[in-house]
Structure 1
Amino acid sequence: MADTLTPSLRPDGWTDADLAYRPEVMANAPAWCNHVDVSFESDGSIGIGYNFRHGSVEIGTAAFGDNGIVTPADDGAVFLFFTDSEEVTAAILRRYAADFLAAADALENGLKR
C-alpha cells in the first residue's frame, strides 16, 4: 500500500494528514502502488496519480475523484516512465534492467491480490 502522499494545489490549510479524510483515494490505490499524488482542482474534484517508483523506472495509472467516487483514467491503463535521463552506459542499462524487474514484480504481485 502506498505510504507517500504528495498533494498539490490543495485547499487552503490542508496538510498531508488531511488526505485521511479522503479515504476513497487510498481505498482505490492498486496493491502495487507505493506513491500517490493528489491534485485538488478548482471545481472540487481531484486528480490522482497512483505510482510505483523504483530507481529510474516508474509505472503509474491515473484516476479522478469527485464527490467520494474514484474513476480510473484511460480505462485503468498502466504506463511506464523513466525518472532520469543520463548518458547511457553499460552500468546504467544494468540498473534499468534491475529496476524494470522490480516494477514487473510489483505489478504482477499487486494484480494477484
Structure 2
Amino acid sequence: MSIDIACYTSISIDELRERLSVVRAKYDHLFDGPYLMFDPHIILNRQQLALIDDRVEKYNQETKLLIAEEFGLKEPKSYFFIAVNDKSFPELNTSEIADVFRQELGEGNIIVLLNGEDLI
C-alpha cells in the first residue's frame, strides 16, 4: 500500500515552486530516495471554477479547494504531493516530514494530510 502526503498551501504557485526548490536542496538526502516530491499545482478560486464548463474537470478542481477549506486553510492557492518511497522511514517518518514543511513554509500557510484523510 502506498502512503501519500498531500500539502495544501496559501502560497502562490510561483513562490511555492521557489520555496520547494530550497527545501529540496536543503533536504536532498530525503527527496532523493525515501520521499518523492511532486511538482506543485494551482488551486482555483470560486470565480475561476465558475468558468469551467467541463463537469468532471470542474469537480476535480473544486475538490482541491474544498479539501483545503475543510481543514481550515484560508485562501488556498496551491498544493503538492509527496509519496513515501521507503516505508522503513530510515530518517524521518511522515509526521516529522510534515513538521519540516510546516517549519519551511510557515505553520499558518500549510496543512498536511496523510493519504488525503487525516490532518497530521
Larger strand proportion of the pair: 1
Task: Give the TM-score taking structure 1 as reference length.
Answer: 0.31
Highest RCO, 1 vs 2 (Cα 8 Å, sep ≥ 6): 2
Task: Give the TM-score taking structure 2 as reference length.
Answer: 0.30
Larger helix proportion of the pair: 2
Structure ID, larger Rg: 1
